[in-house]
Amino acid sequence: MDWTYWGKPVPNMGDTNAKGLIVGLAPAAHGANRTGRLFTGDRSGDWLFRAMHKAGLATQAEAVSADDGLELIGTMISPVCHCAPPDNKPTREEIENCRDWLTATFALREWKAVLCLGGIAWNEVHRYLGVRPVPKFGHGVESVVALTSPPQSPSPLKRRGGSLVVLGCYHPSQQNTFTGRLTEAMLDEVMLKFKNLSQD
């Protein structure tokens, strides 16, 4: 196909007033790496935005290009890595190189809930929040992180007080959706829970 690729770090997308944050893995090689918008132009996005639309978090269920009119409601999406990694498997070095993006995203506001798509997102969010040991990842698991800690905390967010709910969700990758590890009903259920927590 005669595609013109974006070929640079893909920025966050979503509502600038969002209180809910979805953390993914990285731009897909022929999805966001091509279109310049996260989860746009690939099958993972088909699943994600369909579930978000059902939950009232997206204005439409399809995402085919950066100018297709899709808008997110009360939600922002940010990946652990902002460039497409080789073999879709980011290395520790790539994750560390993109850590400033995650730090800047968390510093934007006091988030109410975070939905982690996959184990890497789950681990990196908890590491950023200074949670040791990191709770075991699984689909539908919930972690309530107390946002209080000594001044030397690695996370500025943790010094604000209160708590943050972190939800786990299997990534809507073809590896998970084709095998039935993640079903549409499973994704819909956790997305609705995330919506209720982030917009309560």
Query: Do 189 and 139 meet the contact criterion of CB atoms below 8 Å apart?
Result: no
Over residues 94-136, the pLDDT tens digits come to 888 888 989 999 988 889 999 999 999 999 999 999 998 999 9
CA distance 154 to 125: 12
Tokens of 181: 């590890």
Q: Which of 21-30, 47-56, 148-157 has the lowest mean pLDDT?
A: 148-157
What does the pLDDT read at residue 161? 60
- Measured CA to CA, the distance from residue 144 to residue 26 in angstroms comes to 25
- Residue carrying the six token digits 């209180």: 19
CA separation, residue 147 to residues 74, 109, 117, 163 (Å): 21, 13, 22, 5
- The fraction of the chain above a pLDDT of 70, given in percent, is 87
> In CATH, which superfamily holds the domain spanning 18-198?
Uracil-DNA glycosylase-like domain (3.40.470.10)
Residue 36: Cβ within 10 Å count: 21
pLDDT digits (tens, 9 = 90+) for 62-79: 998 888 999 999 999 999
**Identity at 195, one-letter amino acid code:** K
Name which of 3, 174, 194, 23 is nearest 88 in CA terms: 174
Q: Measured between alpha carbons, how far is 46 from 31 in angstroms, rounded to an integer? A: 11
**Residue-level pLDDT at 5:** 64
Q: Would you list the domain boundaries of the chain?
A: 18-198
Mean of pLDDT over the chain: 87
> Which pLDDT score, from 0 to 100, does residue 57 have?
98
Main-chain phi, psi angles of 15, to 5 degrees = -75, 125
* Single pTM value for the model: 0.89
> In 110-122, which positions are buried (b, 16+ CB within 10 angstroms) versus exposed (e)?
ebbbbbbbbbbbb
Q: Which among 129, 141, 192, 196 has a CA at the least distance from the CA of 169?
A: 141
